[in-house]
Amino acid sequence: MMETILQEGLSALSLPTQGIPALIRYAELLAEKNQVMNLTAITDPAEVARLHFLDSAALLTLADFQGKRVVDVGTGAGFPGLPLKILEPSLHLTLLDAQRKRVDFLQEVCESLGLENVTCVHGRAEEFAQEHRESFDLAVSRAVAALPVLAELCLPLVKPGGQFLSMKSVDCGEELNAAGRAVHLLGGRMEKPQDYVISGTNIRHRLVIMTKISETPKKYPRTFAKIKKNPL
């Protein structure tokens, strides 16, 4: 079932399918661990295939990930970062999350799948940025915060010339408008968002794309309390 959905979905995206056994193993580990801790509300295998794996995979058709240093901010149970790594093994991935249990789970998955060049970090993006400023070619994120907040968490991590790719729903127009000022202050430029349909579904999502055009001023990111209280 899951195999067929992935086979068809990845082929429709013209993506390689050799990662499918690893994705299926990942789904098994996710289902098993989800019994004892809250990792995802999506449990039906067909939905895991579409709403987690194929949604994440869509990014590979919208940006060049080959050999890139990528950070997934607020990765949770590994989305979108881990499917990206499984389907594009050349990338160097950092999975970052503020919840230790989730990071422990990700570490287990990486070991079980024998993934190389993946670093699982327990931490908050705004603190991680103090030591890892402008260290990544790409930052990615799904379902973590509203864009003005998210831009301050993610853009400082991206090298000038790199991009921040934020997975949103198609009704994010208001957030998008509100984020313009933040993106500018953080050294970024808002690109034209790219809508995509999750392979094998009618679900349309939006990839918000910001290019880092100059270094982020040292005063950003601020503490989370300040970011939240007074978004840029």
- Contact between 142 and ligand SAH by CB under 6 A: the answer reads yes
Tokens of 81: 């970062």
Q: Which stretch binds ligand SAH (CB under 6 A): 12-20, 29-37, 139-147, 212-220?
A: 139-147
Binding of ligand SAH at residue 92 (CB under 6 A)?
no
Lookup: tokens for 191 = 């690109």
- Is the peptide bond preceding residue 80 cis, with omega within 30 degrees of 0? yes
Q: Binding to ligand SAH by residue 99, rule CB under 6 A?
A: yes
**Cα angle, residue 85 at apex, residues 79 and 89 outer, rounded to 5°:** 175
Q: Going residue by residue from 27 to 66, which x/- string records binding to ligand SAH, judged by CB under 6 A? A: ----------------------------------------
98 binds ligand SAH (CB under 6 A): yes
- 125 near ligand SAH (CB under 6 A): yes
Treating both helix axes as pointing N-terminal to C-terminal, what angle do 20-34 and 2-12 enclose, rounded to 10 degrees?
130
Question: By CB neighbour count within 10 A (0-12 exposed, 13-18 middle, 19+ buried), where does 149 fall?
Answer: buried
Residue nearest to ligand SAH (CB): 76
Size of the site for ligand SAH (CB under 6 A): 19
**Is the Cβ of residue 143 or residue 213 nearer to ligand SAH in the bound state?**
143
DSSP string, 111-164: HHHT--SEEEEES-HHHHHHHSTT-EEEEEEESSS-HHHHHHHHGGGEEEEEEE
User: Residue from 97, 137, 152, 175 that binds ligand SAH (CB under 6 A)?
Assistant: 97
Which residues sit opposite 139 in a β-bridge?
Answer: 71, 164
- Which is closer to ligand SAH, CB of 14 or CB of 230? 230
Among 23, 106, 109, 144, binds ligand SAH (CB under 6 A): 144
Tokens of 73: 């901010």
Please provide the size of the chain in residues.
232
Q: Rounded to the nearest 5°, which phi and psi values hold at 85?
A: -65, -40
Which of 44, 189 has the CB closer to ligand SAH? 44
**Span 70-89, contacts to ligand SAH by CB under 6 A:** 73-77, 79
> 205: closest CA among 11, 29, 57, 8?
57
Nearest distance from C-beta of residue 188 to ligand SAH, angstroms: 18
Residue position matching structure tokens 């910001």 = 210
Binding mask 189-228 for ligand SAH (x = CB under 6 A): -----------------------------------x----
Interface contacts to ligand SAH, rule CB under 6 A: 73-77, 79, 96-99, 102, 124-126, 142-144, 153, 224
